[in-house]
Amino acid sequence: EAQVTQNPRYLITVTGKKLTVTCSQNMNHEYMSWYRQDPGLGLRQIYYSMNVEVTDKGDVPEGYKVSRKEKRNFPLILESPSPNQTSLYFCASRLAGGPAEQYFGPGTRLTVT
Amino acid sequence: AQRVTQPEKLLSVFKGAPVELKCNYSYSGSPELFWYVQYSRQRLQLLLRHISRESIKGFTADLNKGETSFHLKKPFAQEEDSAMYYCALRVSFGAGTTVTVRA
């Protein structure tokens, strides 16, 4: 089944404790991205990747890192999480060319205390 | 710069009534526009794309380049249409509209 998976689905952590949220897709998509979803603000893009070893900042990249060593994986790293990073995070992937839609993961609800 | 505006945060309609969700965009090139839907506790999924000009679950959306709009419409809302709806310009999203359909 074609899908985007994320782990963990729920995470509660403390300020400053490094964490990684994994994202994987099995559709051979070149483009992958991370969003955070906050009430009233919709989906805001954090980082995106056009292909392996090619990443770029989205609209709200501060406090986040990403890497793209393999085509299928695009982990999101929070080196020193802070409470304002408490949010619902979605990973997405799509084909790079043409008017292609994005396929979304199930979301990761992160709480930073 | 690309920008997507969904002016209504909340929309409440009665079952069987028409529903219209507004979406305006700003983009100088040829837009790639989508509507995504997120049902309660589920992931976002594609509802419509402008290039297909199709009707999905009774919803349609027409691209109006003159008004830079891509409004989503359904003539008769159903309770199962209650969800969050996002308009997207390629990979940029609006703030979303929460639709509640009341019996």
For an interface test with B, the pick among A10, A36, A43, A91 (most B C-beta atoms closer than 10 Å) comes out as A43
- Is the pLDDT reported for residue A99 higher than 80? no
- Give one DSSP letter per residue of B48-80, joined into a string: EETTT---BTTBEEEEETTTTEEEEEESS--GG
| Average pLDDT of the residues in B1-28 | 94
For A20-66, write each residue's pLDDT tens digit: 999 999 999 999 999 999 988 999 999 999 999 999 999 999 999 99
Closest partner CB to A41 (pick from B50, B51, B95): B95
**Chains A–B, number of C-beta pairs less than 8 Å apart:** 47
For an interface test with A, the pick among B35, B93, B97, B98 (most A C-beta atoms closer than 10 Å) comes out as B93
Closest partner CB to B95 (pick from A42, A90, A99): A42
DSSP-derived letter for residue A15 is T
| Average pLDDT of the residues in B43-71 | 90
* Paired sense of beta strands B10-14 and B97-102, if any: parallel
Residue in chain B nearest A4 by alpha carbon: B43
Report CB contact under 8 Å: B91, A40: no
CA distance A37 to A93: 16
pLDDT of residue A96: 86
- Give one DSSP letter per residue of A45-109, joined into a string: EEEEEEETTEEEE-S--TT-EE--SSSSB--EEESS--GGG-EEEEEEEE-SSSSPPPEE---EE
pLDDT of residue A97: 80
- Is the pLDDT reported for residue B16 higher than 90? yes
Q: Is A96 exposed, middle or buried (0-12, 13-18, 19+ CB in 10 A)?
A: exposed
